[in-house]
C-alpha cells in the first residue's frame, strides 16, 4: 500500500509540475507566490522540487499552500474544511441505500426465477448501467422543476442557518443523496441476490430443512448469515471509498466537498491543493482495499483458521 501510494504520488507530482504556472494579476499576491515558489524550489528541476515537497511533508507536515482557492491557507486546511459536506452526503446515501439494497436482494433471491425476481434483476441492470449524473439531472427535473418539493442545489451555510446539521441543510442534501443511492442500491441488490441464491442451494440448507427448520427459519439462521460474509466487507469498503466524494455529483448539486475541490484546484492551477486532494484520493482508495481484505478474517473466523 505504501509503495503504491508513493508511485502514484510521484507520477502525479511530476505530471502536474510540468504544466505551465500562471501568476495572478495582483502584484502583491504575485510577489508572495513567487517568493513561496522560490522557497519550494519550483524554479529547480522537477525531481529536486519533489524532494523538497516530501521533506516538507515528513518534517513539517506541510502539504503546500493554496494561492487561488483560499489564498495563503495551508492546502491541508483547505481539504479538511471541505470534508464534512462530502462525509454527510455519502453517509446519508449509505444509510438509505444499504438496507434497501439488501432487502431487495433478499427478496429477489427468495423469489428466484419468478416474475418479480426478473423485474428486479432487469431494473438492477438498468440502474447499474446508467451514470450517476443522469440520475442527478432526473432528480432535479422532477423534484425541483416539476414538483417543487426540493431545492435545486445544496444550500450554503449562510442560507441553512450556519450549520450542516440543520433540518434545512438536510432537506437540501436529499437530491444529491437520492442521485447517489440509485447505483448503490442496484449494486447491493445484485450482490446480495447472487450470494444468497448460492447459499440457498447449498448442502447445509438441505441439512437444516431435514432437521425440521422451516424455509424462512433456515434462510434467516443459516443462508443469510453465510451470505453476509462477503457482503459486509464490501459495504465497509464502499463507505471508506465514498469518503473521497463524487466529483460530478458535487459539481451538479453545488456541494462544497472534496470532489468539487479536486476539479476546481486543477482548473485554477492551484497545484498544492490538487496534490493534497490527489494524495487523499489515493490513500482512501488504497485504504478501502486493505480494509476489505482484512475484514474477511474478522467477520469469518474460518478464513483465519485457513491461514494456519
> Do residues 112 and 244 share a domain?
yes
Residue 279 lies in a domain: no
> Do residues 64 and 101 share a domain?
no
> Which DSSP state fits 82?
T
- 74, containing H or E segment: strand 73-74
Looking up cell 466529483 gives 247
Number of Cβ within 10 Å of residue 162's Cβ equals: 10
Looking at residue 23, its pLDDT comes to: 64
Domain end, chosen from 26, 46, 75, is at 75
- 33, containing H or E segment: helix 27-39
> Do residues 91 and 215 share a domain?
yes
Looking at residue 202, its pLDDT comes to: 65
pLDDT tens figures, 135-159: 888 888 888 888 888 888 888 777 7
Distance CA 223, CA 112 (A): 14
Here the CATH number for the domain that contains residue 238 is 1.10.3720.10
Per DSSP, what are the bridge partners of residue 66? 73
Question: What is the DSSP secondary-structure string of 94-155?
Answer: HHHHHHHHHHHHHHHHHTTTSHHHHHHHHHHHHHHHS-HHHHHHHHHIIIIIIS--S-SSPP
Q: How many domains does the chain have?
A: 2
Residue 290 lies in a domain: no
> Do residues 63 and 95 share a domain?
no
> Do residues 91 and 216 share a domain?
yes
Domain of residue 20: give its range.
Answer: 2-75
Distance CA 111, CA 94 (A): 25
Q: Is there a contact between 138 and 181 (Cβ–Cβ < 8 Å)?
A: no
> Do residues 247 and 124 share a domain?
yes
Residue 231 lies in a domain: yes
pLDDT < 70: residue spans in the chain: 20-26, 29, 40, 199-230, 233, 236-246, 295-308
Contacts of range 26-34, beta carbons closer than 8 Å, 24 or more positions apart = 29/67, 29/71, 32/67, 32/72, 33/67
Distance CA 236, CA 232 (A): 6
> Do residues 68 and 92 share a domain?
no
Looking at residue 244, its pLDDT comes to: 56
Looking at residue 201, its pLDDT comes to: 65
Amino acid at each position: 500500500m505504501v509503495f503504491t501510494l508513493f508511485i502514484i504520488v510521484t507520477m502525479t507530482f511530476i505530471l502536474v509540475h510540468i504544466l505551465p504556472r500562471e501568476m495572478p494579476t495582483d502584484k502583491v499576491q504575485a510577489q508572495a507566490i513567487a517568493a513561496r515558489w522560490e522557497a519550494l524550489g519550483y524554479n529547480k528541476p522537477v525531481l529536486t522540487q519533489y524532494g523538497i515537497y516530501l521533506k516538507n511533508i515528513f518534517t513539517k507536515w506541510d502539504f503546500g499552500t493554496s494561492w487561488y482557492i483560499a489564498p495563503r491557507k495551508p492546502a491541508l486546511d483547505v481539504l479538511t474544511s471541505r470534508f464534512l459536506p462530502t462525509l454527510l452526503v455519502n453517509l446519508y446515501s449509505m444509510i438509505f441505500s444499504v438496507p434497501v439494497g439488501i432487502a431487495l436482494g433478499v427478496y429477489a433471491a427468495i423469489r428466484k426465477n419468478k416474475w418479480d425476481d426478473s423485474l428486479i434483476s432487469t431494473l438492477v441492470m438498468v440502474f447499474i448501467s446508467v451514470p450517476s449524473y443522469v440520475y442527478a439531472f432526473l432528480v432535479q427535473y422532477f423534484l425541483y422543476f416539476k414538483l417543487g418539493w426540493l431545492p435545486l442545489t445544496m444550500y450554503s451555510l449562510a442560507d441553512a442557518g450556519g450549520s450542516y446539521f440543520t433540518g434545512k441543510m438536510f432537506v437540501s442534501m436529499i437530491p444529491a443523496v437520492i442521485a447517489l443511492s440509485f447505483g448503490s442500491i442496484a449494486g447491493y441488490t445484485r450482490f446480495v441476490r447472487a450470494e444468497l441464491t448460492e447459499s440457498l442451494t447449498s448442502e447445509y440448507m438441505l441439512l437444516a430443512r431435514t432437521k425440521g427448520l422451516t424455509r424462512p427459519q433456515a434462510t434467516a439462521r443459516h443462508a443469510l448469515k453465510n451470505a453476509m460474509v462477503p457482503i459486509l466487507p464490501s459495504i465497509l469498503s464502499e463507505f471508506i471509498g465514498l469518503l473521497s466524494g463524487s466529483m460530478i455529483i458535487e459539481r451538479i448539486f453545488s456541494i462544497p466537498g472534496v470532489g468539487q475541490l479536486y476539479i476546481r484546484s486543477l482548473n485554477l492551477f492551484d497545484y498544492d491543493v490538487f496534490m493534497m486532494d490527489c494524495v487523499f484520493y489515493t490513500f482512501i482508495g488504497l485504504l478501502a482495499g486493505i480494509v476489505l481484505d482484512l475484514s474477511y478474517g474478522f467477520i469469518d473466523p474460518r478464513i483465519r483458521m485457513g491461514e494456519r
